[in-house]
Amino acid sequence: MSLVETATPRRGSLLRLVRSELRLVLGRRRNQVLLAGLALVPLLLGTVLFLSQDTALDGQGPGFVGRVTSNGLFLVVASLFLCLPFLLPLTIGIASGDAIAGEASAGTLRYLLTVPVARGRLLAVKAVGALTFAAAAVAAIAVVGIVAGATFFGLRGITLLSGTTVPLGDGILRIAAVVVYVGLSMTGLVAVGLFFSTLTEVPVGAMAATVVTAIVCGVLDQLPQLAAIAPALLTHHWLDFAEFLRLEPDWGVLGQGLALQAAWVAIFGALAWSRFTTADVSS
Amino acid sequence: MTDGLAISTDGLTKRFRSGQVAVAGIGLHVPRGAVYGFIGPNGSGKTTTIRMLLGLVRPTSGRAFLLGGEMPGAGADVLPRVGALVEGPAFHPYLTGSANLARLDASDATADPRTARTRAGEALDRVGLGAAAGKPYRQYSLGMKQRLGLAAALLRPRELLVLDEPTNGLDPQGTREVRNLVRELAENGTTVLVSSHLLAEIEQVCSHIGIMSGGHLLLQGDRAELTSRGLPRLSVQTSTDHVGAAAEVLTGLGLTDVQATGVTVSALLGDVPPEKVSAALVHAGIDLLGLEVRRPNLEQIFVELTGEGFDVAR
């Protein structure tokens, strides 16, 4: 083979591509509508609870909902709790399933690859975009939750599940930890979405497969007959964010939750990489 | 083996998982500085070949070299010097023309971000899209989309342009503009591989031609050389009662394959000078209403080679 002139990448070129990707993901109208939809959850929940205060229904509701009226901080926790089974996986499934498949279906993938962008690099940048969107989704709930909670019910030191009350500063830290844990719990799902996204040129298919994965895991996790495999299911530790509301969080359980996500990220990230770096691009 | 060649392939083959052989062992040779017309009916394997050249599709067997580098491995090194339009333009519909170009430029690790805006502006002006740069892509007409695709290929100075059906969807005026653009780029030393299923549209600008059919490269080479392979044919128009006599004169001069249709008599000219034919006809007292010598064009050569019409999709 004759000598080929090599092309040296410029410094900062990766950052430039990441910025472009984030602009694309966060600037897209559909994604903004999805984030706004999630942000509506704490707003609506707060409004409903505010209006039903002082009625017979006050203080009732599933999980953390009943505690919101006494402390606005719980609006964040209650909203995350309500969004975790379906709305969050749906939103994140749409964004991560679209990552590669969307470019393939629009035909823009072939032009990115002939620019050229190395396939591994493109996958990494797409992962950054999808993870950022997942973080934005959780953050949208958290930020609107805390603002609405403060407005409707006021923020005060929280009473933990054990009955002990900790001061407001400690409470805010614990809520922040809940939000970060929920955000990290979404990373496995993002990896699953990216993998499905490399399989097809039909973005809706990849999105649906991702959301279905989360829902099926949630359902299987409920079956006592499947208790043996339950600890490996994507959603198994999602609700363990409640540990942060105990006086002494069980770090072992939280560690297992994060390790589980890391395992899903490793497996589906590797599958996505091996598929995407070798696939023929014929769209 | 790649010296002096912008593109060369050796036994390049693609068999799809369905078992269909899209490209059957072709040896493409595109000299540097050439305008290579890559011609063939729809479905003849042109686009699959181009995808393999650009590293989008892996060959089942055979090798492909682009600017001296073997694809797909050398992609990172050679593709920045290659501008490509593959199977029609494709951009983000909700972004403007210039935002789409900015997106592509941002993904080019070797492009200079400081000149991105200027280069995009120049590329848009060059294809006549300057005024529509701020419109969302989805509002573009088919012709404008095609132009934006060309602008993307011209974002940086290129050594090689691979243009797959660049005139698709363009009106005659747009087609002419693309031809002029190709001519202009070639004059500045850019090698151009331009594919089309319409031979007549690009034949005029090409220095070299390769003809694909059913996954095979039937013919390739210098255009002038290829067209000179066709045998010239002379045809004479005369009055109705002189047709038979005219045919006799042509036969007498040694012309072969003499055919008479209506008032036209034609024959393969061979080595006989046309002026000798006209003199002989006049001398024989035949009404000479018209005389024409025609070389077959590439399309006719193609039809002779394959025995089928050019636009027949297989």
User: For the segment A112-157, what is each residue's pLDDT rounded down to a tens digit?
Assistant: 999 999 999 999 999 999 999 999 999 999 999 999 999 999 999 9
Predicted model pTM: 0.88
Band (pLDDT 50/70/90 cuts) for residue A234 is: very high
Which chain B residues touch A22 with a CB distance below 8 Å? none
Contact state of A10 with B111 under an 8 Å Cβ cutoff: yes
Q: Distance between CA B300 and CA B129 in Å, rounded?
A: 37
User: To the nearest whole angstrom, how far is the Cα of B249 from the nearest Cα of chain A?
Assistant: 60
Query: CB distance from A281 to chain B under 8 Å?
Result: yes
pLDDT 10s digits, B231-269: 788 889 998 889 989 999 989 888 888 888 888 998 888
Contact state of A4 with B77 under an 8 Å Cβ cutoff: yes
Burial class (CB within 10 angstroms; exposed 0-12, middle 13-18, buried 19+) of A250 = exposed
User: To the nearest whole angstrom, how far is the Cα of B190 from the nearest Cα of chain A?
Assistant: 17
Q: Which of A220-229, B39-48, B289-298 has the lowest mean pLDDT?
A: B289-298
Ramachandran area for residue B261 (φ above 0: left; ψ -120 to 50: alpha; else beta): beta
Contact state of B56 with A282 under an 8 Å Cβ cutoff: yes
pLDDT value, residue B308? 61
pLDDT 10s digits, B157-170: 999 999 999 988 88
Q: What percent of chain B has pLDDT over 70?
A: 96
Taking CA–CA distances from A122, the nearest residue in chain B reads B107
Contact (CB, 8 A) for B65 and B2 = yes
Q: Which of A2, A114, A117 sits opposite B54 (nearest CB)?
A: A114
Q: Is the ipTM of this complex over 0.85?
A: yes
Band (pLDDT 50/70/90 cuts) for residue A1 is: very low
Within the 74-103 window of chain B, which residues sit less than 8 Å (CB to CB) from chain A?
74-82, 84, 86-95, 102-103
Size of chain A, expressed as the number of residues it contains: 283
How distant is the alpha carbon of residue A271 from its chain centre? 20
Q: Token digits for B75? A: 């992609």
Give the mean model confidence (pLDDT) for residues B16-24: 93
The owner of tokens 């010598």 is: B293
Give the mean model confidence (pLDDT) for residues B194-206: 84
Give yes or no for residue B1 having a pLDDT over 50: no
Q: Which of B65, B76, B93 sits opposite A118 (nearest CB)?
A: B76
Q: Which of A4, A6, A115 sits opposite B108 (nearest CB)?
A: A115
Query: If you average pLDDT over every residue of chain A, what do you get?
Result: 93
The DSSP bridge partners found for residue A144 are none
Give yes or no for residue B307 having a pLDDT over 70: no
Q: Distance between CA B38 and CA A272 in Å, rounded?
A: 35
pLDDT value, residue A62? 64
Give yes or no for residue B226 having a pLDDT over 60: yes
Domain definitions of chain A by residue range: 14-276
Contact (CB, 8 A) for B158 and B81 = yes
Q: Which of A154, A146, A164 is nearest to A77 (CA)?
A: A146
Q: Quickly name the fold that domain B5-228 has.
A: Rossmann fold (3.40.50)
Query: CB distance from A55 to chain B under 8 Å?
Result: no
Give yes or no for residue B222 having a pLDDT over 50: yes
Give the mean model confidence (pLDDT) for residues A48-52: 91
Band (pLDDT 50/70/90 cuts) for residue B297 is: confident
Which chain A residues touch B76 with a CB distance below 8 Å? 7, 116, 118
Burial B167-189 (b: 16+ CB within 10 A, else e): bbbbeeebbebbbebbeebbeee
Query: CB distance from A2 to chain B under 8 Å?
Result: yes
SS3 track for chain A: CCCCCCCCCCCCHHHHHHHHHHHHHHHCHHHHHHHHHHHHHHHHHHHHHHHCCCCCCCCCCCCCHHHHHHCCHHHHHHHHHHHCCCHHHHHHHHHHHHHHHHHHHHCHHHHHHHCCCCHHHHHHHHHHHHHHHHHHHHHHHHHHHHHHHHHHHCCCCCECCCCCECCHHHHHHHHHHHHHHHHHHCHHHHHHHHHHHHHCCCHHHHHHHHHHHHHHHHHHHHCHHHCCCHHHCCCCCHHHHHHHHCCCCCHHHHHHHHHHHHHHHHHHHHHHHHHHCCCCCCC
Q: Distance between CA A108 and CA B121 in Å, rounded?
A: 20
Taking CA–CA distances from B156, the nearest residue in chain A reads A115
Contact (CB, 8 A) for A79 and A45 = yes
Q: What percent of chain A has pLDDT over 90?
A: 86
pLDDT value, residue B102? 96
Within the 204-263 window of chain A, which residues sit less than 8 Å (CB to CB) from chain B?
none
Contact (CB, 8 A) for A174 and A158 = yes
pLDDT value, residue B231? 76
Give yes or no for residue A222 having a pLDDT over 70: yes
Contact state of A7 with B87 under an 8 Å Cβ cutoff: no
Half-sphere CA count of A235, side-chain side, radius 13 A: 20
SS3 B30: strand
User: To the nearest whole angstrom, how far is the Cα of B220 from the nearest Cα of chain A?
Assistant: 24
Give yes or no for residue A209 having a pLDDT over 90: yes
Query: CB distance from A4 to chain B under 8 Å?
Result: yes
Domain definitions of chain B by residue range: 5-228, 233-294
User: To the nearest whole angstrom, how far is the Cα of A124 from the nearest Cα of chain B?
Assistant: 13
Give the mean model confidence (pLDDT) for residues B134-138: 96
Q: Which of A111, A122, A280 sits opposite B152 (nearest CB)?
A: A111
Q: Which of B121-125, B262-266, B305-309 has the lowest mean pLDDT?
A: B305-309
- Choice between B295 and A9, residue whose per-residue pLDDT is larger: A9
Domain B233-294 bears CATH identifier 3.30.428.10: no
Q: Which of A2, A3, A9 sits opposite B109 (nearest CB)?
A: A9
- Contacts of residue A245, defined as CB under 8 A and 6 or more positions apart, other chains included, come to A77, A158, A160, A161, A174, A178
